[in-house]
Amino acid sequence: MYEIYSLVDHGQLIFIAVGLLLSWTSATARWFLISYAVVIVLNLASYPISSQWNTHYYLFQASINVVFMLPIVYRRNLAIYIYEKTSIDFYKQIYDNQKLSAQERMIALIFVMAIFVNLITWTEVLAYKHSLISNAYFKLYFRDNIILCVQLVLCACLLTYALKAQSRDITTEKAN
């Protein structure tokens, strides 16, 4: 079963690569997917270290889920900041055309759920560690499967975001 979780963890990068191929002409989609890829790579790079933290691993995962929301919340501000420093028109275009899409809202909702699941698991593991409960039932039977579903829905949202990128850009251009 561990192989499935590992495959889905690494599969997110494949979905981002496919998304980039599908939406390369959309600057906002490219910026979102590349920003997201950076966060995924950081998460995968930190996994060998964080997985050794038996008790606080779940708190770290909740924190990483907050970091996963940063490309949604701050990428427009980051784009204007980079534009002001470099004067590269790509970043000005991102700033002007970036609108919050339904897929981005769904991704944010997914990560809020993942944060909640990881915090419940962390609390349960702490209670088990301090002998307040006799079994970490949620951690053992639910957490990994919920996170697997979260990651699969996330991959579908990323793919949908990429597929709808051009129509979103056309709608934004007409509105401007």
pLDDT digits (tens, 9 = 90+) for 138-163: 999 999 999 999 999 999 999 999 99
| Any domain includes 163 | yes
CA 124 to chain centre: 24
Token pair recorded at residue 28: 């906002």
| Any domain includes 14 | yes
State residue 109 phi and psi, 5-degree precision. -65, -40
Please report which helix (H) or strand (E) contains residue 54, including its range.
none
Q: Report CA-CA distances (Å) from 156 to 29, 97, 162.
A: 15, 23, 10
| Any domain includes 118 | yes
pLDDT band at 62 (very low <50, low <70, confident <90, very high): very high
Mean pLDDT check: name the lowest of 101-105, 121-125, 126-130: 101-105
Q: Are 165 and 28 in contact (CB under 8 A)?
A: yes
pLDDT on residue 73? 85
| Any domain includes 95 | no
pLDDT digits (tens, 9 = 90+) for 3-40: 777 788 788 899 999 999 999 988 888 888 998 899 88
Distinct helix (H) and strand (E) counts, the chain: 8, 0
Please report which helix (H) or strand (E) contains residue 37, including its range.
helix 27-50
| Any domain includes 8 | yes
Total tally of structural domains belonging to the chain: 1
| Any domain includes 96 | no
Q: Report CA-CA distances (Å) from 100 to 23, 71, 89, 105, 165.
A: 16, 11, 21, 7, 12
| Any domain includes 19 | yes
pLDDT band at 53 (very low <50, low <70, confident <90, very high): confident
| Any domain includes 79 | no
pLDDT on residue 176? 54
Q: In which domain, by residue range, is 30 found? A: 1-70+101-174
